[in-house]
A = this chain, B = another copy of it.
Amino acid sequence: MEWLKDTFEIRTNGKGMLPITHEVESRLRAWGVREGMCFLYIAHASASLTISENYDPTARKDVEAYYEHAVPENQPWYQHTLEGPDDSPSHIRATLTQPSLSIPIDDGQLSLGTWQGIFLFEHRSRSHRRTIELRCLKVA
């Protein structure tokens, strides 16, 4: 077994889900991983990771819209508003989605379902540079 690692940055452009499947797959391919486990970690408290529908862009739009409805800005009970109305909502949305993902690799491919993609979920209104940690336990 071999341990492989990389860190990559994604430039976000305000709130929304950005596909990162390709960024992950290209690294696993470069490493020649046939079998093993892929670990992803996002080092931010106002952005997160999620796996979601990757085919129809309206599916993603609805997921994004849900978080706007379910975790609205400008609630009277928010105390943490120093960085703007997206401050607390961004942290709350991050706790509702994933900071870490673990995805099997089989036959040289991530075991994603037909409709699944990996996304960086930006919860901030402004653009940010986000760091994602990729680790791979290469079995073959």
> Which residues of chain A have a CB within 8 Å of any CB of chain B?
1, 3, 5, 35-37, 39, 41-46, 50-54, 56, 58-59, 61-63, 65-66, 69-71, 75, 77-80, 82, 87-88, 91-92, 94-104, 106, 111-113, 115-116, 131, 133, 135, 137, 139
Q: Which DSSP category, helix, strand, loop or mixed, fits chain A's interface? A: mixed
Minimal beta-carbon separation of A40 from chain B (angstroms): 9
For this chain, the copies found in one complex come to 3
B residues in contact with A135, CB < 8 Å: 37, 104
**Roughly how many angstroms separate A121 CA and B1 CA in the complex, as a whole number?**
33
Minimal beta-carbon separation of A134 from chain B (angstroms): 9
Given A36-B3, A79-B58, A80-B56: A66 and B45 within 8 A (CB)?
no
